[in-house]
Each structure stands twice: as structure tokens, then as C-alpha cells.
Homo-oligomer: A and B are copies of this chain.
Amino acid sequence: MTKYPVLSPEDFVLRKFGLFASELAAFINFPSISAQPQHNNDVKNCALWLARQLSEIGMQNVNVIPTRKHPIVYADWQHARDRPTLLIYGHYDVQPVDPLNEWKFPPFKPVVDKGFIHGRGASDDKGQLFAHLKALEFYLSIYQRLPINIKCLFEGEEEIGSPGLEEWIAQNHAHLKADGAVVSDMRIPSTEQPAITYSLRGMLALEITVSGQKQDIHSGTFGGAIYNPIHALCEIITALHDDNGQILIPGFYDGVLERSVQERKYMKTVGQKDEAIVSDSGASRDWGEKGFSVYERTTIRPSLSVNGIKGGYQGEGPKAIIPSTASAKISFRLVPEQDPKTIEQLFRQYVSTIAPKEINFSIKNFAAAKPVVVSLENPFVQAAAYAYRQAFGQQPIFLASGGTIPIVNLIQEQFNIPVVLMGFALPTDNMHGPNERFSLANFYKGIVTSIYFMEEIANAGRVA
């Protein structure tokens, strides 16, 4: 502890914890739902609040940078001469909240209950992002300096697939240059067991709309005469999987490699058990591709989910119509050998072969992101493992994740630097669902981890 003569990281966080939790509550309080235009102003106000936080703790060059949709919040501190530069990425936008009636507490009026702070974005990603911010505050408030150079990049479009981020990073390449990056937008097995994520699935989010006759018509008068767009859409969706849970799009699995026996064995050792994943999901039993464990199916195997479907009458009671259109939001999770552009092409081709000729269809691309595998052989990952050991008293395990974080691929492709995927959320945090929450114990340990992480990067290497 001699590294920290004034106050240990643990003592600092404990003393300030009430304040930090209430600040996090204020952060969650913004309904910064990036997908819904009616919340554009809330997203913006959240960005301004975050910028002010960064400024108040002593970060420099704080900027709220407009993009075509939602602003990027940038800040840096670059006075640690000869020390590495760490890029901290996070996102302050959140998922939509429906179905609202399933929330125990209002999603944007955070409540602390049984050791968890409840609210949309609590764990994904406001709580995790905020842990790093409080680590910066530790150094800046006590020492008025940071042990390493820091660049913060907090975006407001992650939940809609970061549409403008690639272009913006390309344009600001020199400005964003760093030696390593940390992204905390993932889960660890428990409050006792930290984990570093080494692979992420890619993503492709589409919407298919089926159109039949030009308007809704009477199903008594016309029932039996024409193709119902809902029937056609259901048939298309049904034709996407076979009975064994495999995806039927021709070419979908082309090039998808079997993972090594060694990797699968390690995954089996450290990964969540099938029963635990099913239990976390709230389902009564598992389902999916034969020949793979549930953990494998959700991480190293691709998948396809219909995220929403609608068509025809949506109100109460019956309505005797054949609707004119029906649509479904469909998203893929992809593994490293799958390029989202190719998969979209294959999907379009397949739908055009199976769609009934009586209807028309159109497909819209919402978002896409390439899959990622992160190398574990670098000092940043080692520093993260050290920091986790300090804060959690436990060696981290290495996990594959089923999720997608577009920025990770972008950083790897554009800067060719190590990205540390350092998670603080729990499997039971209900990310994307109702009753999202974040463990206050993990918030505490997250801040402490980040403090040790920065110090250890400083120790690990001077840079030219």
C-alpha cells in the first residue's frame, strides 16, 4: 500500500461511496435511449452532464462532439510524460424500457434495493463507465495528476450499433492515438470472480417488412382469397431455423471454424454451466444448436433472434382484418469468420427464394458490427489481471462473450492496440430487460480495480 501514501484506493472509495452512488443515480436518471427519437434531448442532456462530471474532477479538453445522431463525450489528461496512454471507452446511451409494466421500480428513478442500484443503464453501461471516472477522480483529487495519460471516449450510440463512430474515429485517428484501451461493458461470473473477456460476437440488426394488398381489408369478406402478410412473415421466420436449432440460410456457416479442443476444454472449466445460464435467462429449459454447450452456443456459435414482430390489429379484443403489412426485427450474432455484410447478402438471397410470390418484402439494415477476438498476450491485460487480483482477491478467468461492442473491433482495426475487456456487471443484472440493476459491491470493486489498473500500467512500461 506504500504506492498510495495519502489514502488507499479502498479507503478513498469507502469514504466517498454514498456520494458516488448518488452521482451514479443522477447519471441513470437521464432516459438516454438512443433508439427513440423522442429521447434525443435526453441523450444530449446526459452527454452534457457527463462532460461536466469529467470537467469537475479535473479532466481536460472536455468536449461534447455532435455527430449525425448522438454526441460523443471526449476528455483527456496527457501530462504523464514517458508513460503509456490508455483510451477508456464507455457508452452513456441505454436500451429502450418496454415492457414498462414489468419494472419493479421506475427505470429512470433509480432506487437502491438489496445492495443493487436499479434502473435502465445501471450496469449497461453507466455504472461500469462511472467506475473508471471515479478512479480518475481518486488520482486527480488526491495527487492532482494521473499515473498515465488518459483519453476518455464515451459514446451515445452504442445501443443502436454505433452508426457514426467508425467514420468519426477514422477522422480523429491521430487525436485518439493510445497504447491500449479498456472497455467495461461486460459481465463477470460473480462479485467474487472477476473475468477478462477475450471474444465478442459480431452483430447484424435488420428489419424485414412484408407487404400484401394495399390496405387492411375485411377478413370475413376476403378470408381465403389472398395471401396474408402475417402468414408470409411467419413462414419466412419459421424457415430460418431447422429443428436442430441450426440456421438454414445457405452459406451461413461457411468458413465458421471449429474451436480447438483446448479452448473448448478451458471454456468448460471456467464458463458458466448450462443450468446456470438457463437459470439466469429465466427460461425453463435450454434450446439451440445440437452438439454445443449452452455457453458455447451463446459465445463461439452464431445465432439469430427475432427481437420484435408486429402486424395487423394491436389493440384489445378481436378485429376482423387481413392486414396490409407485417414486420419483424431480426438480429444475428456472428462469430469471427462471419462478415456482417456477407451475412446480410445471404439473408436477402435466402428470403427472396423462400418468400411467397404473392407478397413483397423489403429489408432494412439497422446496424452491423464485426466479431472480435482479443489477444491476451500484452501488458495491458496483465495489468488488468493484477488489478482484479488486488480488488477482488481472486485471479480473473478468461471468458468468451455472446454480446457485441462495435468499438472493440474499430479500435483493433484502426489502432492495432490491445483492448482490455474488463467487466463489472453480473449475469443477473438484467441488461436490456426490465429491472436492470448494478451491484453496489461491484461498483465499489470496479472503482478500486480501475485505480490499480492505471497504476500498474504506469509501472509496466515507459513509452518512447
Contacts and interface: CB of A to CB of B under 8 A. Distances in A.
Interface of A: 34-37, 95-96, 98-99, 102, 159-161, 187, 201, 203, 205, 207, 212-228, 230-231, 233-235, 237-238, 240-241, 245, 277-278, 281-289, 294, 297-298, 301-324, 326, 328-329, 331, 333, 356-358, 366-367, 401-404, 427, 430-435
A237 B230 contact: yes
Given A225-B278, A281-B222, A301-B224, A205 B235 contact: no
Contacts of A99: 216
A348 to B, nearest CB: 17
A329 B333 contact: no
26 contacts: A95-B320, A95-B321, A99-B216, A102-B216, A187-B221, A215-B430, A216-B432, A216-B434, A218-B403, A219-B303, A221-B403, A222-B281, A223-B333, A223-B402, A224-B245, A224-B301, A225-B286, A226-B283, A226-B285, A227-B283, A309-B326, A313-B329, A317-B366, A318-B329, A318-B366, A320-B404
A243 to B, nearest CB: 9
Among A203, A331, A356, max chain B CB count under 10 A is at A331
A362 to B, nearest CB: 15
Nearest to A200: B220
Contacts of A322: 305, 307
A259 B324 CA distance: 31
Given A218-B431, A225-B277, A333-B220, A319 B307 contact: yes
A266 to B, nearest CB: 19
Tell me the interface secondary structure of chain A in the complex. loop
A320 B95 CA distance: 8
Contacts of A277: 222, 225
A432 B213 CA distance: 14
B98 A315 contact: yes
User: How many chain copies?
Assistant: 2
Contacts of A284: 213, 358
Given A225-B278, A234-B237, A283-B227, A217 B366 contact: no
A403 B278 CA distance: 47
B215 A435 contact: yes
Contact of A314 (B228, B310, B333): B310
Given A35-B319, A225-B297, 16 more contacts: A36-B316, A203-B220, A213-B283, A215-B282, A219-B333, A221-B298, A222-B277, A223-B333, A224-B298, A225-B286, A231-B240, A234-B237, A287-B358, A308-B312, A308-B313, A310-B314
Contact of A309 (B221, B309, B333, B401): B309
A331 B282 CA distance: 32
A402 B220 contact: yes
A402 B224 CA distance: 9
A388 to B, nearest CB: 21
Contacts of A432: 216-219, 221, 319-321
Q: What are the 10 A-B residue pairs with the smallest beta carbon separation, nearest first?
A: A224-B303, A220-B403, A308-B312, A308-B313, A35-B317, A205-B318, A223-B303, A213-B283, A213-B282, A224-B297
A301 to B, nearest CB: 6
B329 A312 contact: yes
Contacts of A403: 218, 220-221
A461 to B, nearest CB: 33
Nearest to A222: B281
Contacts of A297: 224-225
Contact of A308 (B98, B225, B305, B319): B319
Nearest to A360: B284
Contacts of A237: 230-231, 234
A358 B316 contact: no
Contacts of A37: 316
Nearest to A218: B432
A237 B234 CA distance: 7
A288 B226 contact: yes
Contacts of A224: 245, 288-289, 297-298, 301-303, 333, 402
A397 B388 CA distance: 85
Contact of A226 (B36, B286, B311, B435): B286
Contacts of A328: 230
Contacts of A402: 220-224
